[in-house]
Amino acid sequence: MTQNWVVDSNCFIHLGSMASDTFIKDLKKILQKSNQMLFVTPGVHDEIRNVRFQKWSKKPKVLDEFDSLMTTTAIDDGQIRGLAQLIGEKTSPQDVDLSLMVLASQLQREGRDVILVTDDFKMTTSGEKANLGYTTCPPSTFIQRLSAQSPSDKKGRMKSLSRRVRAAEMRYAISRVHQYDIQAKLTWMVDSLIEDRPQSQKTTSSGVSEVNLKRALQRTLGGEQIKGNHLKKLGDLPEICQPILLLDTHLSQLTSTNTSEHLREVYDETLLLLSEVLEAIGLDLAPLDESSAELANSALSGYLYRTETALGLMAKMSGKRETARLHLSRALQSATLIDDSFAEMHAVFQLGLLAIASEKWERSARLFETANRQAQLISAPRTSYLVCAGISRHLHGETQAAEHHILEAKNLLLADKKQATLDLMNLGEALLAIDQPGLALEVLDEAMECALQLGSQEHLEILSEYLLMANAAMTQTDILQHEGLRNLLDGLNQLSEQEAEEFAKKIKVIEQRVSEHNQPFEETWKVWQPSSKLIPEAATLRVVRAEVDENQDTLVVVHHPELGSIGLWLPEGDWNVSSGHLLSFAATRVKLAQPTLELQEKHSIRGIVAVEDTSQLMFNAPIDEIRTDHEG
């Protein structure tokens, strides 16, 4: 079906600001070859009448150059007013935008494939509210899709333009963070990137000198000596960008503080430092020309990617999933500007885990599928992404797609079972950390099969504890929700008859321990006793989940290999504790009571513990994970 683009004024303004003098020629060939059409309304003509191509030698008007490529369709004022009333006068877009929405809806009803190109997110949300039927994408994604259809020798300059426009879109969105909630807009921008990204290696931008200057600026910031002519062309940029180095210095020190309280402090410090660095650089960049600002922002993207990723992971470890999603979305956007497939892959994977934690199965599937494609580009391990994509598709009811992903993962497992075992084990731990024990149990089961076949005693012991923890954390909801998943994942690996018998023995031992851990403690006490009577000294307990009740008291469910799961009842307060944290006890006293039937059934806990001095509890978050990502 022929693609029809309805294009708003802001897209033309972006093109006028950034497009080179080859753009119209390249665009004309793409449209003619694929029989695509550009549509506008008369209001767009009025809004861009004086916009010029700033990078062209004679700076011609954008409207004049696009005239032969656009189809202009007038919209009746009554239709515009009717749409405004349907949406709500106070919240509806401006008249020109409304006319474009009416046009897109009309074309859609005619059976055409229509996409409205706009960076105004209100046109997307309003269109959905009014059920107009069209889809939308930002200008950067529009240009990116065109680049996929460009000849290989011209693809690079179109993709470079897309990245520059995307950077401008992100800068504008983030600049409005204090005026409205930008999370939904960022999600929409990321979704359009995920859905339509060309799956090929990135090429360099058309201007070789710009690439060299970008590398020269990055090398200068890294403390290297560069050529004198490059240094001269960079001017004041090395000095202006110098504050960005504070971010990497700060990130390298994160491992020194890893309690949950310190985690919150470090998050706030990192966020404040990021704001100060961006403000300092932004103030000095403001007087410079656009090309200098673009060069600086492109060179600094790697630092921003690492910082946003660290902030996202800290937020995730604190259980603040929506905040984590915002930071990781920004990290993904920064990654696209540094042509770093590994960075993009990692950011998309973390977003996928957050989508799984929220049980957004269709979204998580798309994210993991994108991570898998990125991994293919750089020959990185892909088993985890394929398994997650298969699980997500299955839970979304797409059986055929799920089976396809698992079959592909099976082929990778057969090619390198050692790597696949490690991938599955790490994935199972990650799923436990986002309080998805049902999914973790199925993945860890497959990992244990592989470890058994490899004869890895070390991995078998670790996996036994993970499986014990996953079983203890399971709820009735998990059991019902994931019905049928075992049959899907059974396709990952096959055991011989002898291996199956050995595996069954190990699982039986785990099940016996699970049964023991499901029994409430026989001995309880109502008077304070030394905590060491219950929790062995130097013991570490992993947090399974934390829930806050209507009185703002917190129940923290923790697991110990010998004791099983117990509940700590903590008084009102902000404990900043989340699944995956590790708890250690200092010397204090505790009381122990049997759990209510409701709590036992819901959390499989053996007892409820009250702590006399809660300041002696230390919840540790794995900040080492952040440093690994930073160094990677």
- The answer, yes or no, to whether residue 283 has pLDDT greater than 80, is yes
**Both structure tokens of 253:** 């020190």
Q: What is the Cα–Cα distance from 522 to 466, expressed in whole angstroms?
A: 25
- The answer, yes or no, to whether residue 391 has pLDDT greater than 50, is yes
* Domains of the chain from N-terminus onward: 3-156 (3.40.50.1010), 525-624 (2.40.50.140)
- The answer, yes or no, to whether residue 178 has pLDDT greater than 50, is yes
pLDDT of residue 477: 63
Choice between 167 and 257, residue whose per-residue pLDDT is larger:
167
Stated length of the chain: 632
**Both structure tokens of 377:** 């580009």
- The answer, yes or no, to whether residue 447 has pLDDT greater than 90, is yes
Mean pLDDT is lowest, of 237-241, 269-273, 490-494, 538-542, for 538-542
The bridge status of strand 564-570 relative to strand 608-611 is parallel
Answering whether pTM is above 0.75, one says no
Phi first, then psi: what are they for 477, rounded to 5°? -65, -40
| Helices (H) then strands (E): counts for the chain | 29, 13
pLDDT of residue 626: 47
Choice between 308 and 341, residue whose per-residue pLDDT is larger:
308
Exposure on the CB side of residue 191, measured as CA atoms within 13 A = 16
What residues contact 372, with CB distance under 8 A and at least 6 apart?
382, 385, 386, 389
Question: What single DSSP character describes residue 259?
Answer: B
**% of the chain surpassing 70 pLDDT:** 89
